[in-house]
Amino acid sequence: MYYYKKMTYQQAIQYLYSRLPMFQKVGSKALKEGLTNIIALSEYLQKPHLAYPTIHIAGTNGKGSTAHLIAAILQEHGLKVGLYTSPHYRDFRERIKINGNYISENAVIDFIQNHQTAVENIQPSYFEVTVAMAFDYFRNEKVDIAVIETGLGGETDSTNIIEPILSVITNVSFDHVGVLGNTLTAISTVKSGIIKKNTPVVIGEKHSETMPVFIKKAAKETASITFANDIFNIKKTSESFKSTVFDIFNKKNELIFEKLAVQIFGNYQSKNVLTTLASIQKLNETTHYNISETTIRKGLKQVKSLTNMIGRWDILNEKPLILTDSGHNEAGIQNIVDQLKSIPHEALHIVLGVVNDKDLDKMLSLLPKEAMYYFTKPNVPRGLSELLLKEKAIQKGFKGESYKSVTIALNTAKAAAAMKDLIFIGGSSFVVAEVV
């Protein structure tokens, strides 16, 4: 359907959702092989991604948090920073931000309406259109730099047409194995595709299976490679639900950042902080930015405020304590379980919903059986039936009931919880999206 009058914002979003396949909602059938469509869109738009420097971030877990951490520091340095991340939680516009401000509704409308014919001719995916929209918006708004998070994988991800000044790969774990491969070597090979010719790359975590892949690819591209934990060690010194404080040491065990406060919560964030610090150090070595320790401290201390970051250990209530986090793959679930163990509480209540292409057996093998579960279904086509989720979980010794919606499940948990109990909501970013 063509709109000859100005669309409303809801019409523009509905056009995106209805006309273009969306991986987050329908799964792998939404994926378009290769970079053909995004290259065609980019050519049509006159290559907007080349109008400003970029930093490219891939990884199984932590890439969104790391993107926000780096963006916050660059903002505090005085730069106008574009930030592209996915998926969104509440509002499509979360994906495209400048200095923490969402793309305007009018900019979304104008992009769709002005380029509707090209979109119809090229037939890109939902993700390809959002990437093109972000690149075009950042050019129009004259950003100084853009931090770009991959969607899925690396080598053929739609974002991989950029020519970054720095590539970052946070880590590799098992996720989307039907698309990326079922070994860490295979997955890291796909993610190594963001390593570009003569462009430095920072790797967040060392792993015996993935390290040779990254080293080989970097050598092929004559790209300098840095492993974050070869440079720094990190020690958590204190935490609250609003901030975590770290001491950072170099490899000579010299304290280089004392009491570095970061406006985030979660044990796993220590890895993202190290990756971020290694990335900023590499930027200082290879560019003119010269980012100071003071700037790093101020940026990290205000990361959520500066970048409008949501979906990572958000606190919804204090008595009882209600927390939510978007971790959803093997490593993400393990991080959540470890974190829950560290939080003082009496009874544990878990509102759990998943999508149908996850390894449910693996997820259930990690989750605590002593909790009371409220099984539910995220409100997307990929959502796994709450009845099937309950059936599988009960077979494995879990206890709980099923509920038709996340809202009903959460309200039931709240009614059952005592003041000193802990309620956790998760299993899928789509579950989180319904409560944040």
Per-residue model confidence (pLDDT) at position 25: 47
Residue 208, SS3 per DSSP = coil
Does residue 286 form part of some domain? yes
CB 335 within 8 A of CB 266: yes
Q: Are residues 354 and 229 in the same domain?
A: no
Which residue, of 307, 336, 358, is where some domain finishes? 307
Share of the chain above pLDDT 70, in %: 94
Element (H, E) at 225: strand 225-227
Q: Are residues 94 and 189 in the same domain?
A: yes
- Taking residues 206-217, what's their average pLDDT? 92
Please give the pLDDT value at position 73.
98
Looking at residue 161, what is its pLDDT?
Answer: 97
Average pLDDT, the chain: 91
Identify the weakest region by mean pLDDT among 53-57, 92-96, 249-253, 359-363.
359-363
| CA distances from residue 37 to 17, 92, 408 in whole angstroms, order as listed | 18, 21, 41
Mean pLDDT, rounded, for 358-372: 92
Residue 213 and residue 182 share a domain = yes
Residues 6+ apart with CB under 8 A from 117: none
| Last-in-domain residue among 290, 307, 324 | 307
Give the pLDDT confidence of 264-317 residue by residue, as tens digits. 887 778 999 999 999 999 999 999 999 999 999 999 999 999 999 998 888 999
Min mean pLDDT across 149-153, 294-298, 351-355 is at 149-153
Q: What's the structural domain count of the chain?
A: 2
Mean pLDDT on 21-42: 67
Phi/psi of residue 93, each to 5°? -70, -15
Report if residue 1 sits inside a domain.
no
Please indicate, yes or no, whether residues 101 and 20 belong to a single structural domain of this protein. yes
Domain boundary among 307, 341, 356: 307
Q: Does pLDDT of 27 surpass 70?
A: no
Per-residue pLDDT band at 240 (split at 50, 70, 90): confident
In CATH, what number is assigned to the domain containing residue 262? 3.40.1190.10
pLDDT reported for residue 22: 54
Residue 2 domain-assigned (yes or no): no
Q: With beta carbons less than 8 A apart as the criterion, state whether 140 and 97 touch.
A: no
What is the per-residue pLDDT for 186? 85
What integer is the mean pLDDT of 231-241?
Answer: 92
Distance CA 105, CA 85 (A): 17
% of the chain at pLDDT higher than 90 = 73
What is the reported pLDDT for 182? 62
- Do 139 and 284 lie in a common domain? yes
Contact 261, 299 (CB under 8 A): no
CB 357 within 8 A of CB 382: yes
383 - beta bridge partners?
355
Inform me whether the pLDDT recorded for 30 exceeds 60.
no
Question: What whole-number distance in Å separates Cα of residue 341 and Cα of residue 380?
Answer: 30
pLDDT digits (tens, 9 = 90+) for 162-195: 999 999 999 887 654 444 556 888 889 999 999 9
For 79-128, the pLDDT digits (tens) are: 999 999 998 988 999 999 999 999 999 999 999 999 999 999 998 989 99
| Best CA proximity match to 202, nearest among 171, 180, 175, 173 | 171
Residue 15 has pLDDT above 50, yes or no: yes
- Between CA 357 and CA 310 the distance in angstroms is 24
Q: Length of the chain, please?
A: 436
Cα distance between residue 148 and residue 127, in whole Å:
13
Same domain, 290 and 327: no
Q: Grade residue 344 by pLDDT with cuts at 50, 70 and 90.
A: very high
Q: Are residues 228 and 372 in the same domain?
A: no
Domain holding 361, by residue range, is: 314-433
**Nearest alpha-carbon partner for 283 in 80, 55, 81:** 55
Residue 31 in any domain: the answer is: yes
pLDDT confidence tier of residue 29, bands split at 50, 70 and 90: very low
Residues 266 and 331 in one domain: no
What's the CATH number where 321 sits?
A: 3.90.190.20
Are residues 118 and 82 part of one domain?
yes
pLDDT-based confidence at 153, cuts 50/70/90? confident
